[in-house]
Structure 1
Amino acid sequence: MRCLLVTLEYPPFYGGVANYYGHLVQAWPPEDEIVVIDNKEGQLLAPRGKWPWRRSFATLWRTLRQSHFDFLLVGQILPLGTVVWLLSFILPIKYGVFLHGMDWGEAAARPRKMWLAKRILGRSALVIAVNSYTAELIKRAQPSVSGRVVIVNPGIDNVSPPFIAPEYLASLRQRYNLDNCSILLTVGRVVERKGVDKVLEAMSQLLPYYPKLRYIIVGDGPYLKICKELAVDLGLNEAVIFITDADDNEKAAWYQLADIFVMASRSKGSDFEGFGIVYLEANQAGKPVIAGQSGGVRDAVVDGETGLMVDPQSSEAIAQAVRRLLDDESLRRRLGETGQARLSQFLWSRQARLLRDKIKEVL
């Protein structure tokens, strides 16, 4: 079987969507073939002029006329889904459309885009939702495609955490004066909906009772300056550490050093947490997580089993969850161990085979 993935976002393009497609292709079953067309060389979007996606039409028309593919995978419902939908009236192609969450939310916010999105899905053979929350939104909006919806979550490469030298872990503790401290950790892009501000507010409530608690934020982003200013306003200077230049090895080290991982993501309009691969990375290190009730997070975190789900708008709820975990070492250990044991269902090799098998069912 030969599949063609067409996507605007693909490595080395940075971001969660590009990372998702890159890993999916890398883990694709070797007995089948998957070919990728992306926009690195401007093959899909014209740099100027009306309807920039017109170049996608030309590229795909030429590709499909020259080579045989059994199935097309569409990385973005708009605009690429429009192109494939139009081509499906001319060429005998079967296709599936990926939906991550925000893409569906943006389409749903505008009647014209929603009209078009429904027609694209209506002619599709598969609708591939990256999380169960998006799957439910699609089924409610377009019940006729419910039987074609399949959930393919993001994944991880290994169940076990990467090896980090004990000397390196000790050096990080020494560099940031963390001996005998409890460590609360957030890893990710610092944008408003990730909830770093609410965790900072929770820290101001916790410090009088846990003076050796430290909050490490690993990441950069447009909300970083505001969060730094908030930390100063709350008097958290010594208790909060921002790290903006950590490489993958250092990020892995912080997961191992942390006692609790927290990302209290919240929804902001049509933008919500699509999944939260960082929750799995924390579980991979055997750590419990605190997560905000937003979008697809419930696929990554099982409340009371692998972590604690909280109201992301409430700093009091976040503080209460942190306090509960700090006071109960056995609960921390149980949540972390259960989370790590659950990781096998998120291996990329499993996710790729799941999608491959669904495609074969509709061919």
Structure 2
Amino acid sequence: MVQKTNIQVWDVILSGNKVIIITTRNFLPEMGGMQILMSDIAKHLSKHSKVKVFAEDIKNAHEFDKNQKYEIQRIKGFKFIRKFRKANQIQDYFNQNKNISALISDHWKSIEKLSKNICQSVPTICLIHGKEINHPNGSPLNIRMKNSLSKTKYIIANSEFTKNLAIEKGIQEEKIKIINPGTDNIDEDCDESAALEIYNNANPKIITVCRLEKRKGLEQTLLALKNFEARYENFRFIIIGDGEEKQNLQKQVENLNLNKNIIFLSEASLKLKNSLIKTADFFIMPSIQVGKSIEGFGISFLEAAKYGTPSIGGKAGGAADIIKHNETGLLCDGEKYDEIYNCLINIMENNKFESMGDKAKKFSEEFFWDKQIKKYLDLIQI
């Protein structure tokens, strides 16, 4: 007798349910905030309905896909033709299946090539995040974006900031709903001793996890930390991430003579990353706007908060949805290193980071996926 796999058993359990289609340019195992978000949405929706994902093909995708409790169809080929190929495959799926309950898209470009008839045959939901909609009104990209989003029933903004930006860019306000990104409950698989060894008895222990680009505000943060060193010479700042600004930041660290205080980790296992976040005194990423690029929400702040680690974030963008100023962390103008410095001193006074961390952890519970996914289900009305 052939034994059924867990995935096959799950399919039998959900065989009577309708299917939710997800079309996305961003999906695990490719790493990034959007990739994690879309994969989390698929995972948590699959607890309530059958889910089929149309995603880009990447290295090691097969190993990841076979372990999921939902179906993933990978789109192969050159980047330019993938969007057409994906649209054709989704069209074929709709033609062959009448049990589709909703279509969810990660980006307006993911539904741009889909027909209006397809999108309006079921509730179509598109997520927006900030950078991808921040085009001048009347520009070709702005017009393409609005035409694409006109095919949707709902538009999901990841923060109050993103909603207001969308309205400013001409997107229909009545369609916009705010659903912040979610997070899973704490992963208890941490190795605090390994993390503490890296921090090496530092006071305080500071961390950031991000792609190293100008909008993260790290250049001004390093200047603020140079002044901070005069009062806290044993601080240690762990920077986890990679990106185009890495070499510039490393050179700046050398010029500021902060090599003994600052450690760059291009990669870290999930276990080590979570351990470093959990044992840190606070997280810092005072984001700024660079051209059209701006932080729509800042899921890293949420990841830190659930471990009881408060954050210093930037006023630009949507950080205020997760950082409550003077409660769960601090907000400042990331363009001004003196404001960052004042936040550093403020959060250290009487170990204020401890009480802020407790409040941040409590606040993060509002973002757990069991609550956030219900907001999607309410829109889909399964």
User: TM-score when scaled to structure 1?
Assistant: 0.88
Distance 2:57 2:82 in 1: 15
Instruction: Find the aligned partners of 2:152 and 2:313 in 1 and give their Cα distance.
Output: 34
Structure 1 pair 339–166 and aligned structure 2 pair: CA distance change class (3 A): closer
The equivalent of 2:154 in structure 1 is 126
Change (3 A) 1:273 1:147: same
Picking from 31, 54, 61, the partner of 2:84 is: 54
1:3 maps to which residue? 20
Deviations 1:234-293 (A, max 9, x none): 121222222223211211221233222111111111111122222122222222211011
| 1:253 partnered with 2:255 | no
**Residues 299 and 30 (structure 1), Cα distance of their counterparts in 2 relative to 1, 3 Å cut:** same
Unaligned runs of 5+ in 1: none
Aligned to 1:114: 142
Is the Cα contact below 8 Å between 2:137 and 2:170 reproduced in 1? no
Please give the residue correspondences for 1:313-328 in structure 2 after superposition, counting only pairs within 5 Å: 313-328=335-350
- 8 A contact 2:287–2:295 mirrored in 1: yes
Q: Supply the distance in 2 between the matched residues of 1:57 and 1:257 (Cα, whole angstroms).
A: 45
Report the Cα distance in structure 2 between the residues aligned to 1:270 and 1:48, rounded to whole angstroms.
23
Give yes or no for contact 2:116–2:151 (8 Å, CA) kept in 1: no
Question: Contact conserved, 1:260 with 1:287, CA < 8 A, in 2?
Answer: yes
Aligned to 1:296: 318
Q: 1:60 to 1:163 in 2, by over 3 A?
A: closer
The Cα shift of 1:161 comes to 5.5
Counterpart contact for 2:305–2:311, Cα < 8 Å: yes
Secondary structure, in 3 states, of the residue corresponding to 2:121?
coil
> TM-score, normalization: structure 2?
0.84
Partner of 1:71, secondary structure, is: strand
Q: What is the CA RMSD across the aligned residues, in angstroms?
A: 2.4
Structure number with greater CO (CA < 8 Å, separation at least 6) is 1
Q: SS at 1:327's partner residue?
A: helix
Q: How does 1:77-88 map to 2 (within 5 A)?
A: 77-78=108-109, 80-88=110-118
Unaligned runs of 5+ in 2: 1-17, 59-72
Q: 2:182 maps to which residue?
A: 155
Answer yes or no: is the 8 Å Cα contact 2:91–2:114 preserved in 1. Answer: no
Q: Deviations over 1:61-86 (max 9, x none)?
A: 211101121221122202x2222244
Partner of 1:311: 333
Q: CA deviation at 1:322?
A: 0.5
What is the aligned counterpart of 1:100 among 129, 152, 155? 129
Q: State the Cα distance separating 1:230 from its structure 2 match.
A: 0.4
Distance in 2, matches of 1:220 and 1:295, equals: 21
Shift of 1:165: 4.1
- What do the CA deviations read for 1:38-74 (whole angstroms, capped 9, x no partner)? 121896575277x653223321221110112122112
Provide the aligned length of Structure 1 versus Structure 2: 350
Provide the secondary structure at the position in 1 that maps to 2:362: helix
CA distance in 1, matches of 2:146, 2:79: 28
Question: Closer, same or farther in 2 for the Cα pair 1:210/1:30, shift >3 Å?
Answer: closer
